[in-house]
Structure 1
């Protein structure tokens, strides 16, 4: 049986809601929906492009703790609060996923905090 390992970003949201930033289960890494908050300062930029860049920094940090990287991502789901943001974030996502080219889904929805414009969740499989 594989042992699970839990990864935390230190965000207060994790302790309040009882979840992990990521869960490592064998070769698989499941990263929770991640927003553009800078967890060090608990601030969020107003611009969707800046939020997207921060999301990728946050996800990359969680993957690194799991001994994986963005190149190991096999599945990604994007949650946007406005369909017009897609044109802004698409090239940013394309840059980060140029090698991985994961299966992807994009949804338009409301997020918990009105300051949040994007949330991204990924699944990665570590390369042996």
Structure 2
């Protein structure tokens, strides 16, 4: 599988260093669409802080990916749902760390979550 980032610069706003406008996936045989994943522990309890929830989210995503014999290196698209816009930088920092600095097409949306103590939800698309 080959990943080809596309970041046109003429006639469009520039991408920042932590995301790309588009990712072309060549030669993939499998796609995995991961539902929105929350910062819940194995018992279903949310982490007590934003940082703890982000750590749990990325741990949960790694577990889900591993169940399909994939890793975060297979992620080709990511959407974050933030309960509050003030969570954007912490979410971006957690994403950048989890992906080892590899930029992917990313969208962040501020939205009400189904439970008020769920601070962030992240869904990904992976290819392999």
Q: Which band: TM-score by shorter chain?
A: 0.7 to 0.9
Aligned 8 A contact 1:74 1:122 in 2: yes
Aligned 8 A contact 2:37 2:57 in 1: yes
**What pairs up with 1:35-114 in 2 under 5 angstroms?**
35-38=38-41, 40-98=42-100, 100-114=102-116
Scaled by the length of structure 2, the TM-score of the pair is: 0.74
Match of 1:28 among 27, 31, 34: 31
Q: Distance in 2 between matches of 1:29 and 1:100?
A: 19
Q: Distance in 2 between matches of 1:125 and 1:60?
A: 14
Q: Whose Rg is larger?
A: 2
Aligned 8 A contact 2:96 2:102 in 1: no
TM-aligned CA deviation for residue 110 of structure 1: 0.2
Scaled by the length of structure 1, the TM-score of the pair is: 0.74
> What whole-Å deviation, never above 9, does each CA across 1:5-29 have from its counterpart, x for those lacking one?
xxxxxxxxxxxxxxxxxxxxx5101
TM-aligned CA deviation for residue 99 of structure 1: 5.2
Q: Unaligned stretches of 5+ in structure 2? A: 1-28
Q: Relative contact order, CA 8 A, sep 6+: which one is greater?
A: 2
TM-aligned CA deviation for residue 100 of structure 1: 4.0
Q: Size of the alignment, in residue pairs?
A: 100
Q: Unaligned stretches of 5+ in structure 1? A: 1-25
> What whole-Å deviation, never above 9, does each CA across 1:91-112 have from its counterpart, x for those lacking one?
1111111254211000000000
